[in-house]
Amino acid sequence: MFVSSYRQKETFEEVLLSMDAIWVSGGNTLNMIAIWKAQGVDKILKQAWEQGIVLGGGSAGSICWFEQGSTDSRPVALSAMNALGFLKGSHCPHFYTEGPRRDSYHEMIMDGSLMNGYALDDRVGLLFSGQELKKAVTSREGSKGFYVSKVNGKIVEKELKVEVLKG
């Protein structure tokens, strides 16, 4: 989203809506979404999603599509944030691969600062069609994904069936 108006002669809308797929990398989710909103890119991405353009990403690029996420975008500690809201619930990447992520995600769901949602190991992806989860996939044997929810005052991790992609 860092462009020069002298060189960039196509609008964000023209560029993004001409794509078959849009991939968002990791980084600071909070700042990324703030820039998108300032530039109107959030609305264009919603239009892309509604038109069937494939949206994806890793880490911050996966949090952004959900209603909420667990982020390291602020100093000191992991925190809850609102995201774009295309997909229902919350999301936590790096669930087992970054030490405090799991416990922090549990705490945020327990105290209500995050909704129930999906927690994934690195290299696990979720395939949605609209709001419906179709499958979980990974490129690494043993990587896991979970649906984490608060049930009767306790955290429940329901392990997702994760298909290992061979190739």
What residues pair up with 117 in beta bridges, in sequence order? Answer: 90, 148
Residue 94 a catalytic site member: yes
**Sequence-separated contacts (24+) of 143-147 with Cβ below 8 Å:** 144/95, 144/96, 144/120, 145/95, 145/118, 145/119, 145/120, 145/121, 146/95, 146/118, 146/119, 146/120, 147/116, 147/117, 147/118, 147/119
The C-alpha atoms of residue 141 and residue 26 are separated, in whole angstroms, by 22
What is the number of other CB atoms lying within 10 angstroms of the CB of residue 12?
A: 17
Query: Which has the closest alpha carbon to 165: 122, 129, 136?
Result: 136
Pick the catalytic residue from 73, 91, 94, 104: 94
Residue 106 a catalytic site member: no
The C-alpha atoms of residue 138 and residue 130 are separated, in whole angstroms, by 20
What residues pair up with 70 in beta bridges, in sequence order? Answer: 80
Instruction: Tell me if 105 sits within 8 A of 114, measured CB to CB.
Output: yes
- Annotated active-site positions, please? 59, 94
